[in-house]
Amino acid sequence: MKIARLATIVSIGLTLSSAPALAQNINKREARQQHRIAEGIENGSLTPKEAARLERQEARINELEAKDRRSGGGLSPKEREELNRLLNAESHRIYVQKHDKQGK
């Protein structure tokens, strides 16, 4: 009984302590994706139209994150999951656009 209670307390503590780290991971991913878009513009692997489309989608994701954070108490696990899903899809789009040989 005491072990189960201790395990529950430890898991709650770990969850609460990892919440800021998870939010930081989302911000790092967004920054990394912005950097990848900038690289594509610099090296010519992204056309201006492709870059503009990717930038608009990044802006939508940033707006959604800001809205979710304003809704109170930071990001819920469901909101974090949705943002990660959107960031995964955007990362894939960046890769595809950078490697489609249209810019070079």
- Comparing CA positions, the residue from 52, 59, 47 lying closest to residue 99 is 47
76 to 17, 25, 29, 65, 89: CA distances (angstroms): 14, 14, 18, 11, 20
Give the separation between CA 64 and CA 56, rounded to whole angstroms: 12
pLDDT at 34: 95
User: Tens digit of pLDDT for each residue in 59-90?
Assistant: 999 999 999 999 888 899 999 999 999 999 99
* SS3 label, residue 101: coil
Q: Give the model confidence (pLDDT) of 1-60 as tens digits.
A: 566 565 556 556 555 444 555 557 899 999 999 999 999 999 999 999 999 999 999 999
Tell me the percentage of the chain whose pLDDT exceeds 90: 66
> What are the structural domain ranges in the chain?
21-98
CA angle 91, 94, 100 (to 5 degrees): 140
Q: What is the pTM for the complete model shown?
A: 0.74
